[in-house]
Every structure is written in C-alpha cells, then in structure tokens.
Amino acid sequence: MDKLVMTGGSSLHGEVQIAGAKNAALPILCACLLTADTIELHNVPDLQDVRTMLKLLQQMGVTVDFPNPSDRSHFHLNAATITSPEAPYELVKTMRASILVLGPLLARLGLATVSLPGGCAIGARPVDQHIKGLKAMGAGIQIRKGFIVAKIADGKPRLQGNTILTDMITVTGTENLLMSACLAEGTTVLENAAREPEVSDLAELLVKMGAKISGIGTDRLVIEGVTALHGASHAVIPDRIETGTFLCAVAATGGEITIKSCRPDTLDAVLVKLNEAGLKMKKGTDWITASMTGSPKPVSFRTSEYPAFPTDMQAQFMALNTIATGNSRITETIFENRFMHVQELNRLGADISIEGNTAIVEGVEKLSGARVMATDLRASASLVIAGLAAQGETQVDRIYHLDRGYDRMERKLTQLGANIRRMK
Ligand code: EPU
C-alpha cells in the first residue's frame, strides 16, 4: 500500500493547475448511458474513482476511446449497445457514486440492477431518496439479495414525469433523478434540488445532449422529457474542492501560489473563510493568487449545502485551524461521522475535542510530524496539509483514499516546493 512521506516547514511557491471536478465527472460519465451517440469529454480528472467508473461502464458494454493515450483527460464514450445493465457489488462497494448508473439505465432501457451501497466511513449515506424519486416516476423497485432491482412498471414504455420533493437536499440523488427525467414522458419537477456547481455542470451537458431543463443552478429543476438524447462534447468544470485544498495548504505553510484553471466563483464561502484566516487573495475568472505570512487566525464555520461552506472542505480547513492563534468551532451538518481525521490530527500535536457534531479546535503553535492514517478522501488531504505545516517528518498511510479523488496531488505539491514523496 502506498504512503506519503513529507517533511514539513517549506512554504509553497509557484503555479498549480487544477483538474476537472471529480464530483462532476462521475455523473457526467454516467450520462453517456442516456444516448446511443458518442459523448466527447475534456478535462476529466485522472483519478481512481474515474477509473473505477470507466471500468463499471465498460463492463456494461460502453466503449471508451482515448484519441491520445497519453492524455487521460480527453476521451469518447459510446453506449450504443448496453450488454449488461448491472452494477456489481465489487465495484459499488469501492465507490458509492456507482449508484449514478441507476437512473440513466432505467430511463434508457427500462431496467437496472445496482448493488445497494453499504455503510460508509463518513456516515450511513442511504439512497432512499433516489429510490423514492424513481418510484414516483413509475419505476417498480425491489431490494433483492443486496441489489436494487428496478424496472419500469408494466405497460409503460418510459418513466413518467412527476413532481418530486426530496426529504433533504441530496447531490447524487438530484443527479440521478435529473438524468432519469430527461427521457421520461411528460414534465418532472425536482423540488429541493441540490444547487452544487457539479449538478449544474451535469445539467449543462444534458442540455447539449438535447435535454429540456430549466432552473439550472436553482433548487427547482423543471425537466420536460424527450424521447431520445444525442451526442455532445463537454469540458468538465474545474474542481472547487481541489482548489480549496491547495488554498488551505498555502494558508498553513505560508508562501505565495497561483492557482490556474479554477473557478473562484464556485468557492465563495470557502474564500470568505480563508480571507478571515488571513490569506490574501487576488482572483480573476479562472485564477487565484494567494499569499500568506504569519500564523492563521482561527475561523469558525458550519458546513451546509451549496452555496454555504462545503462538507468536502471541512477536514482541510480544520487542519489549518489547528495551528491558528486561538480557538475555533467547526460544526458538520451533512454527514454524521465526518470527524475521523480529528484523532489523527491530534497525533500530530493538534488539540481538538468533539462535542456532538462540533469540533472545538484550540490552536497550537506547532504540529510535530508523526505516522498517521488516512481514513477517507478529504481526511487524507487534511493530514497532508497538517504534515506540510508540521515540524519534522510525517508519514500518511493508506493514501489510496487520496488517490480516489485527487489528480497527482503530491506531484503538484512537489512543484510548489513541498518536500513530499510517495513510497510504495
Ligand atoms: N441522504 C439520505 N438519503 C438519500 C441521499 C442522501 O439520507 O437518499 C443523506 C446523506 O446520508 C447525507 C445527506 O443526505 O447525510 C447529503 O448526502 P448527499 O446525497 O448530498 O451526498 P452524496 O450525493 O452521496 C455527494 C458527493 C460527496 C459530498 C456530498 C455532499 C459525489 C460523488 N459525492 O455525495 O463527495 O460530500 O455530495 O456535498 O458527488 C467527496 O468528494 O469527498 C464526497 C464525499
């Protein structure tokens, strides 16, 4: 198993290029199932979850063609023939986003079998809202031997449009229902829809494919179903969480970096908090220059749905708060178990305690390097940030979590002057 070994204390300087967003790329890959035509994608991040999703699609009969094999960010997908509308347990258990094939398969073929995702390190993460929405659109759904077995009700050739109000805001739930609604008969209204930029990016691709969607970027999506979608070409939106992760890193280590190919307008809540922490920033439409001197100021925040502070940045910002000049409170409202990095940050000398869904961080002057273990994707990024700011050597084990969601993180950090290396 690979690990990252870093020696803290170097400030970061230089330029870094942001990849396409993982959480936009994953639903976008699944959207290829909605058409027999070819979908051309650009700016797809080269990371493990994307490779897993491609493997799942290929198992179903989708062809993947890289015009330039050395460029993994650009490829064509074709789902003209879907031989097996099934997502097996082996793949779903490694990546919950596999649930995103359910809606498109059902809408296009009228049937799908997808393994029910199990529990997850950051919370229970049920998919009841995906199922409730698809049922409201006329799908018959049963859970059999750990699988969601879905079929359009007898006598109906297509899913039926309906108004669906989810009990909570769900990102992949919205995406699954949005994709299904594009090929449904009649109009679907998704109330309480997630407004995350990744949902909007998927919607933009669907519109290019011929879907009729209004309300993109709002919490009410109205979809007029069409009988078929066609091919399209799309560049995945830049990853706001990767951008935020590098900003937290420079805020923790000091220095000055320019982040290129990013979308600062998708990061408002994070930029406001980084500014409070003392990070000086200048930005354009697709770049941010950030500089930091001295210790960060403590910043309290609570996570919430977009456009508020994202849960996917909570762990990285917590790493920054551990070395702030004072105390902060971080409240996690999206996932019930997303504080597993706390114990590991404490191993590096941080002083964090947990009260319910709030972490209380007492800033310390210095962290000190230690051996720590990554528990999930964003927790891994938080440990890397802490390790870069700590005195001495830090070893982060189990970085397969990091590889799931970051495109060449340690290489990008090395370019910025960090002393970090991968050990096999
Ligand atoms: N929920 C339910 N029932 C459902 C769906 C969701 O109870 O049917 C609950 C969840 O348990 C959670 C809350 O609703 O408490 C929100 O979950 P959501 O469905 O929005 O999360 P997700 O779609 O499974 C996506 C991202 C996550 C990100 C969350 C929140 C993808 C592939 N994943 O997950 O990304 O944290 O939205 O923004 O888009 C990550 O990248 O590290 C990551 C975990």
Q: What is the pLDDT of residue 118?
A: 72
Centroid of ligand 1 to alpha carbon of 410 (angstroms): 26
C-alpha atoms less than 13 angstroms from C-alpha of 377 in its C-beta half-sphere: 21
Instruction: Please state the atom number of ligand 1 nearest to the C-alpha of residue 130.
Output: 8
Distance, C-alpha 73 to centroid of its chain: 17
Nearest Cα to Cα of residue 413 among 399, 424, 217 = 399
CA–CA gap between residue 248 and residue 313 (Å, rounded):
9
Centroid of ligand 1 to alpha carbon of 187 (angstroms): 26
Record the tokens describing residue 188, joined without a space. Answer: 């679907």
CA–CA gap between residue 187 and residue 159 (Å, rounded):
11
Mean pLDDT by 10 residues, the chain (424 residues): 95 98 98 98 97 97 97 98 95 94 97 88 88 97 95 89 98 98 98 98 98 98 98 98 98 98 98 98 98 97 98 98 98 95 98 98 98 95 98 96 94 98 94
Please list, residue by residue across 391-410, b when 16 or more beta carbons sit within 10 angstroms of its beta carbon and e when fewer do.
eeebbbbbbebbbbbbbebb
List residues with catalytic annotation.
120
CA–CA gap between residue 76 and residue 371 (Å, rounded):
42
Query: H-helix or E-strand containing 392?
Result: none
Q: What is the pLDDT of residue 153?
A: 83
Strand order in the sheet with 147-152: 86-87, 111-115, 147-152, 139-144
CA–CA gap between residue 54 and residue 64 (Å, rounded):
8
**Residue matched to tokens 């970090």:** 420
Q: What is the pLDDT of residue 371?
A: 97
Please return the burial class of 360, using the count of CB atoms within 10 Å of its CB with bins 0-12, 13-18 and 19+: middle
Q: Each residue of 47-86: pLDDT tens digit?
A: 999 999 999 999 999 999 999 999 999 999 999 999 999 9
Instruction: Please state the atom number of ligand 1 nearest to the C-alpha of residue 175.
Output: 23
CA–CA gap between residue 134 and residue 152 (Å, rounded):
9
Q: What is the pLDDT of residue 100?
A: 98
Centroid of ligand 1 to alpha carbon of 302 (angstroms): 16
Contact residues of ligand 1, CB 6 A cut-off = 22-23, 26, 97, 123-130, 168, 170-173, 311-312, 334-335, 377-378, 405
Model pTM score: 0.98
Instruction: Please state the atom number of ligand 1 nearest to the C-alpha of residue 127.
Output: 8
Centroid of ligand 1 to alpha carbon of 261 (angstroms): 26
- Cβ atoms of 216 and 200 within 8 Å: the answer is yes
Q: Each residue of 400-421: pLDDT tens digit?
A: 999 999 999 999 999 999 999 9
Task: Provide the 8-state DSSP code for 160.
Answer: B
Phi and psi for 242 in degrees, rounded to 5?
Answer: -60, -40
CA–CA gap between residue 371 and residue 364 (Å, rounded):
19
Q: What is the pLDDT of residue 156?
A: 83
CA–CA gap between residue 276 and residue 288 (Å, rounded):
16
Phi and psi for 215 in degrees, rounded to 5?
Answer: 85, 15
Q: Where are the beta strands (DSSP E) in 350-409?
A: 351-355, 358-362, 371-373, 393-397
Centroid of ligand 1 to alpha carbon of 180 (angstroms): 18
Beta bridge partners of 148: 114, 143
Instruction: Please state the atom number of ligand 1 nearest to the C-alpha of residue 129.
Output: 8
CA–CA gap between residue 42 and residue 52 (Å, rounded):
18
